[in-house]
């Protein structure tokens, strides 16, 4: 690894196979004050190490047919997962508002939730938080997601004075997450 670039995350989980360079990678991350945590601790970045391979390519041979020059190519296969937690809303504008305050979000683009959307949520997220609009369509969307994804789903109920996330200012949106965490903690105690 040549040099370092500025790193925009403070926590990472390394998942999958233990590769030959994993020990050095951990040293580099630690020396740059990047905490290596378990996936259950909600790291900012999740990296799944899939495999590695090296290949020796001959560049030139001597007159007797012996290798004079070669280069080694080393490849690492990995997959990046950005968040274990995602917020689900109906509108793309609501998803953008959540993203603006630092919450990973996706939109269903209406009350109907397709099987393809459900499969993608199952594949990439374990902690799904639904913030439904304060109307019948929002309630239907929430119920469908809970029905299909069960225990992976939590719900944040908006205050009745808001129709949806788009009606809220940044501080009110941030407070939703704090209130949600306090509710979960009180249930565990």
Task: Check which CATH number belongs to the domain holding 15 and give it.
Answer: 3.30.160.150
In this structure, the answer to whether residues 92 and 153 fall within a common structural domain is yes
What residue numbers bound the domain in which 149 lies?
85-188
Which CATH number is 135's domain given? 3.40.1360.10
Runs of H (alpha helix) within 4-57 = 22-31
Q: What is the pLDDT of residues 35-63, one digit of tens each?
A: 998 876 777 788 889 899 999 999 999 99
Where is the domain boundary, 27, 53, 81? Answer: 81
In this structure, the answer to whether residues 31 and 52 fall within a common structural domain is yes
Cα 59 off chain centre by: 42
Question: Does residue 124 carry a pLDDT above 90?
Answer: no
Q: What is the pLDDT of residues 150-177, one digit of tens each?
A: 888 888 888 899 999 999 998 888 887 6
What's the domain count of the chain?
2
Residue 169 included in any domain: yes
In this structure, the answer to whether residues 72 and 121 fall within a common structural domain is no
Residue 77 included in any domain: yes
In this structure, the answer to whether residues 93 and 77 fall within a common structural domain is no
Structure tokens at 181: 């965490």
Q: With pLDDT > 70 as the criterion, what percentage of the chain qualifies?
A: 87
Confidence at 122, pLDDT banded by 50, 70, 90: confident
Q: What is the pLDDT of residues 86-96, one digit of tens each?
A: 899 999 999 99
In this structure, the answer to whether residues 65 and 122 fall within a common structural domain is no
| CB within 8 Å of 105: residues ≥ 6 apart | 86, 87, 88, 89, 94, 95, 96, 98, 99
In this structure, the answer to whether residues 100 and 138 fall within a common structural domain is yes
Q: What is the pLDDT of residues 7-45, one digit of tens each?
A: 777 888 898 889 998 999 999 898 888 999 887 677 778
Mean pLDDT of the chain: 84
In this structure, the answer to whether residues 72 and 93 fall within a common structural domain is no
């Amino acid at each position: 690894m040549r040099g370092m670039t500025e790193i925009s995350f403070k926590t990472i989980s390394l998942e999958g196979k233990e590769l030959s360079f994993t020990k050095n990678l951990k040293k580099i991350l630690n020396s740059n004050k990047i905490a290596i945590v378990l996936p259950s601790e909600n790291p900012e970045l999740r990296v799944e190490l899939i495999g590695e391979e090296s290949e020796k390519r001959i560049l030139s041979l001597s007159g007797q047919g012996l290798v004079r020059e070669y280069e080694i190519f080393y490849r690492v296969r990995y997959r990046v997962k950005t968040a274990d937690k995602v917020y689900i809303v109906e509108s793309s504008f609501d998803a953008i508002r959540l993203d603006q305050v630092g919450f990973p979000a996706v939109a269903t683009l209406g009350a109907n939730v397709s099987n393809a959307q459900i499969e993608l949520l199952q594949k990439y997220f374990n902690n799904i938080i639904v913030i439904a609009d304060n109307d019948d369509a929002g309630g239907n969307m929430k119920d469908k997601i809970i029905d299909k994804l069960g225990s992976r789903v939590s719900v944040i109920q908006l205050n009745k004075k808001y129709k949806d996330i788009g009606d809220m200012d940044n501080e009110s949106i941030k407070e939703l997450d704090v209130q949600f965490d306090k509710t979960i903690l009180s249930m565990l105690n």
